[in-house]
Structure 1
Amino acid sequence: MKLFGVLALAVAANAQYFSEGWVPGQAVTAEPSAPSSGGPPPSTGQKPQQSEPFSFSSFLDINNILASGPVKGLFEKAGINITERLEAAALSPWDDRIPLITDENYFDMVVNETMTEEEEDKRVWVIVVSAQSSRQEAISKYVDKAFDDAFNETTIAGDLPFVRFARIDYLNVTYVTTKWSLWTAPAIVILTDRGQTLRFYRTNQLRIANGALREFVRREAYLATPPWSSAFAPGGSREFILEFFAIWMAKIYRFTVRVPRWVMILASGSIASFAINLLHGFGRKAPPAKKTVPRAPVASGAAASATAPTAVVPAAAPPSSPSKAKQRKGKGKK
């Protein structure tokens, strides 16, 4: 009886896995089969996630090398948590609320921004070009701090609805900075007219601390500064030169950024050493030194006679014959 009771419970528990089957006249439907215990999961029609393809640059990335098992174990034995160090180094030093302008989003964010006519007439972009990502620029940290303060004060006051704040990482943006002919950082850029009117300010040309940058923008004091209006500026006759140069510089940067920095340093050092040796090889070569033949030793007496200077005796002059006139005079006296 106990055996029949156990079988009845098993059948009742597994009854949900059985189907009544197809009845004539019933529409054919594709019902997903219920998963059975221990069986493979049903197919959902989606391709399984594939691992990322092997990349030579990722294989040589210093972060991946430091995070690998053997190297990580060596650091742990030395009492260093390399994972925390790498995570701290990867954190952005900037305020996440301020958008970053890159080569990829510049046109969508600034040039082709969707705006009303009023917004298009009054839109002002206040952009800081920072080099703080190198973590070696004290001046950039100072400028970023003043810029963030101006952004916070403007956000709290809410009195500049047509002003937008943005940041450019100078070390990771190539096309925009080249097109603007901006070769140093940090700098403040006031951009209007969808990028057609640009005003640049160095750190020694503009007071930005203690709310000075916000007051400068709020009072529109930048209008007193003439915009960039050279032949290479936007709308200039030679703008195409900087445009062409910026495009190719960006392509070169996208190629070189895939190579780890330490590989670039080794390669550039090897190329520089080879070039220096090659250039020195074309210079004027020094004449070969003359070979000295050693002399054989000689006796002391012979050496003294050989080294003693010989007196040069002048040759005796031949006797001069008396002239014919003197001979005639002598004959006359006799």
Structure 2
Amino acid sequence: MTIDASPLPTRRLGALEVPAQGLGCLSMTSFYARADPAEALATVRHAIDRGVTLLDTADVQGLGEGERLLGKAVAGRRDHVLLSTKVGLERDRDGEFLGVRGDRAYIRRRCHASLRRLGVDHLDLYVKHWAAPGERIEEAAGALAELVTEGKVRHLCLSEVCADTVRRAHAVHPITAVQSEWSLWSRGIEDEVVPVCRELGIGIIASCPLGRGFLTGRIGSLADLGPPEDFRRALPRFSAANLPRNLAVVAALRPWAAEHGLTLAQLALAWLHHQGDDVVPIPGTARRDHLDENLGAVSTALSAGERAAVEAAVEAAAVRGERYPPFLMQLVDN
């Protein structure tokens, strides 16, 4: 194993060339422990300085605050970044989830609102956020295609959908990437979604590549999570019953990472970087030191035997619990 500190290599998401690692901005404004806004802003700007130009947010993050923060961070540097935001998950003013939408009027209205909050005239990637059971994805894809024609969107992306939905949307308008959770403890997309993406020439954006912080090794108990509103407290894998059992995953990886001079986060990200030249992880952080740590994984080389050993260690530890509670699980992989 070798670690190279050279500039970021690039990957292909369809016809789009991007740095090998992006930045997820979820934790900057919502869902986890509240971040320091000034440090979050500095982290985005530091990411750009380090060559991390794929910046990912969503209209539901902080009920629009995520887009406002990102817009402020990229002001004056718009031509140096690739902005990605999402549409489809609906929340009320109190943050309560209302469901998933993909109708044309909703997508157009939300796109214009996202452009205003970001302070830009176009989005580099516009992501359809999940799909409701039975949703006619063709309507959403058609609405997104209109936005491309109008110059408001450059590339289309889908999030947390099944292989059939990818095919159907791609038949309406070329899809550049599929963004779904993919990590050492969430590998569900490998069976059907990844093969379909590769058949169609669609790239893969790996979200939550550090297991919502779990694969960093910094969560040893429920006390290490954020305040009561921390979204992870509602997730089965972080429950009082499952978290102690899932710590076996970290225990299995920790000595292996230490032996090879890596942090747990770097090991988890390095494993993803070896899944293909069409895979771009977007680890989220609101801190510059964690950003720098994560970037240490980009040029870390793992042999096939080392990757197999890491996978075997996680498999033996047996991850407990679904990714989401039942009411949200019914909205993913449709």
The TM tier, using the shorter chain, reads: under 0.3
Higher RCO (CA-CA < 8 Å; seq separation 6+):
2
Larger Rg: 1
State the TM-score, normalizing by the size of structure 2.
0.22
**Structure holding more strand per residue:** 2
